[in-house]
Structure 1
Amino acid sequence: MDGEGFLCLWPRSWWQNLDPTVSRCLLSEGSREFPIGAFSGREGSDSAGRCGRHRAGVGATVVEESKVQIRALVNQAVVLLREQGFESARLEAELLMMHVTKFNKVQLLTHDLEELPALDETVYKALVDQRLQGTPIAYILGERDFWDLTLKVTPDTLIPRPDTEILVEKALTLIQCNHCRDVLDLGTGTGAIILALKHSAPEIRATAVDLSPNALAVAMENAQRYHLDVDFRCGSWFTPLLPEREGAKGFKPQFDLIVSNPPYIEEYDPHLQEGDVRFEPLSALVSGHDGLKDIRLIVHESRAFLRPNGYLMFEHGYNQGAAVRQLLEEVGFAQVETLRDYGQNERVTLGRALS
């Protein structure tokens, strides 16, 4: 059986999403060493892991099995990740192993003395190497938990972060206490905010906008996974909602609540060269010289799309609280307040349009 025939034994969705290096290894015929770079420290060595050797036999293909236990592989990965300064090394090593084996946490703990097949060992080491090179764990796994959802993520989308749940918590309070029925999410990305709101408050009418067709496709897939009805629009901020786009002269949709996690990082911020943001789409991160270009636009244009007593709420940088409060007050928003994230940084600001 050649490499392609071997891969046909696996679901197409599995092997098509492999790292290209792993795919080339698995598609090769005969015996071949797999270069596991940083994981072993000796590229191409016997200890670096192999693709299974396919030996011609009568009526069967023999695949050599690994002799390495799951626990040993995870512990090796933890050491390497810690050496590179990853704070959640144990968690990430286990998440990658659960991704390869399809085990949950309990299964991983109860099966950790089992030997991992050679093919899975090769894939695991390749994924660990991707992480060692800085690729965000969410992009490697292809998903991230947010609120009570597990969302698909891709390099076309920002990675949902726990601090954004502060916005969701406050938005749900407004929805419940002020009977906010129509909710708009600007720059939806994965759909994290609007899908969390719709999942927790199914009575709302949800609309979401994003400039990126690829990001919007991810959001739509996430909505379909949870059978959530959201009106997705492609375009820049409020543009897809303008009357000429609605097909009815003079008609402009009105909302009780507008939420957003817009770009808010200064274009020359040195943090853009650090951590996960190095791999995330720049257009979803950067907003002019002071990080407030898009927030200014949203604040000024939102009044035309808010019903009387409607709310605007958005995430911003830890040091932008005073500036965005001033913006909201200058435009005429009342009851302006800022919420702090889990690290006690000013993170989300909201205001109410009284007229």
Structure 2
Amino acid sequence: MGLTSTKTYQNVIQQGVLYLEKHQKQSFLAERLIMDRMDWNRTDLLLHLKKKMSEPAYLQYLKDLNELIEGKPLQYIVGKEWFYDLPLKVTSDTLIPRPETEELVHEALKQLKGKENLNVLDIGTGSGAIAIAMKANRPNDEVTATDISEKALQVAEENALTHHVDIRFLQGDLLEPVSLEMFDCILSNPPYISHDEEYLMDESVLKYEPHSALFADHEGLSIYEKLAYELPFYLKTDGCLFMEIGFQQGERLSTLYKRAFPDKEVSILQDSNGQDRILMVL
């Protein structure tokens, strides 16, 4: 790609920016590739700008840049994504955590403020993002996380170990691993994209992220429909439920969950972009 041999971090980043812009990629990724690969924050980067980049780091950067140009998500290139101020390992077996899911966690933490020693369940944990963020912010809660994928659970367990949080991980489909248990708070970011909407998806998402964590039958509603019948038996009388939803699903899911929980308050909350994003049952 023609990067020069004057390999200070500043030189390399400047030319990386030009290379990314030439290929219509976001230029800020030139810095983030280095920061995430080196486990640096912005201060660390600034302190290294005038220093020479080692030959192995330089060659890795070239490889990373070219994978980015080819469409591979940065998170899978460097093997991590930040979620609720925590760096989490991600692999091709786990969905890349999104900012919208951070909003789900934020709302749950807000609603649970003042309540202590709760039993919390994360259904379909993937990388463990929701469960780990909840436990990190509410260390006195007992947190359980389920996933059908053994490989995803291995990643989640590694992330929990990295952040020194004690979470019970169980393999199985949805609520199956916690049969006969009840919880004070249940959270989930299930697959909710309709197969008919595949043409709207970014090519890199379709090529690299696990489809089982993205798509669901019946216009993306099949998991919600299954859980609507089962969740009332797992949520305590004064318990609460938070689920991420597709932006076109709010009205239908509100109706469905009001039938499932006739004695509770069911709300649809919007994300920072004004789109329906969270189903909340209190």
Q: How does the TM-score come out when normalised to structure 2?
A: 0.92
Q: Counterpart of 2:139?
A: 202
| Counterpart pick for 1:323 among 252, 269, 273 | 252
Q: Does 1:346 align with 2:241?
A: no
Question: Cα 1:236–1:214, aligned 2, differ >3 Å: closer, same or farther?
Answer: same
Q: Does 1:301 align with 2:238?
A: no
Question: Cα 1:176–1:100, aligned 2, differ >3 Å: closer, same or farther?
Answer: closer
Structure 2 residue runs without a partner (length 5+): none
| Paired-residue identity, % | 35
| Counterpart pick for 1:157 among 77, 94, 97 | 94
Which secondary structure does the structure 2 equivalent of 1:85 belong to? coil
Equivalent runs, 1:71-110 vs 2, <5 Å: 71-87=10-26, 89-90=27-28, 92-101=29-38, 103-110=40-47
Structure 1 residue runs without a partner (length 5+): 1-39, 41-46, 50-65, 243-251
CA deviation vs aligned residue, 1:105-159 (integer Å, no higher than 9, x gap): 2232243233323332211111000111111111111111111311111111011
Q: Aligned partners of 1:319, 1:84: CA distance in 2, in Å?
A: 33
Cα drift, residue 182 of structure 1 = 0.8
Question: Cα 1:177–1:278, aligned 2, differ >3 Å: closer, same or farther?
Answer: farther
Q: Counterpart of 2:195?
A: 267
Q: Aligned partners of 1:161, 1:285: CA distance in 2, in Å?
A: 12
Size of the aligned set, in residue pairs, is: 280
| Counterpart pick for 2:185 among 257, 260, 276 | 257
Q: Does 1:310 align with 2:249?
A: no
Equivalent runs, 1:1-355 vs 2, <5 Å: 40=1, 47=2, 66-87=5-26, 89-90=27-28, 92-101=29-38, 103-177=40-114, 179=116, 181-242=118-179, 252-269=180-197, 270-333=199-262, 334-352=264-282
Specify which structure has the bigger relative contact order, considering alpha-carbon pairs within 8 angstroms and separated by 6 or more residues: 2
Q: Aligned partners of 1:290, 1:177: CA distance in 2, in Å?
A: 38
* Residues 165-174 or 185-194, more deviating: 165-174
Cα drift, residue 82 of structure 1 = 2.4
Structure number, greater radius of gyration: 1
Q: How does the TM-score come out when normalised to structure 1?
A: 0.74
Partner amino acid, structure 1, of 2:69: L
Question: Cα 1:100–1:309, aligned 2, differ >3 Å: closer, same or farther?
Answer: closer
RMSD of Structure 2 on Structure 1 (CA): 1.9
Q: Aligned partners of 1:129, 1:286: CA distance in 2, in Å?
A: 29
Which secondary structure does the structure 2 equivalent of 1:319 belong to? coil
Cα drift, residue 263 of structure 1 = 0.2
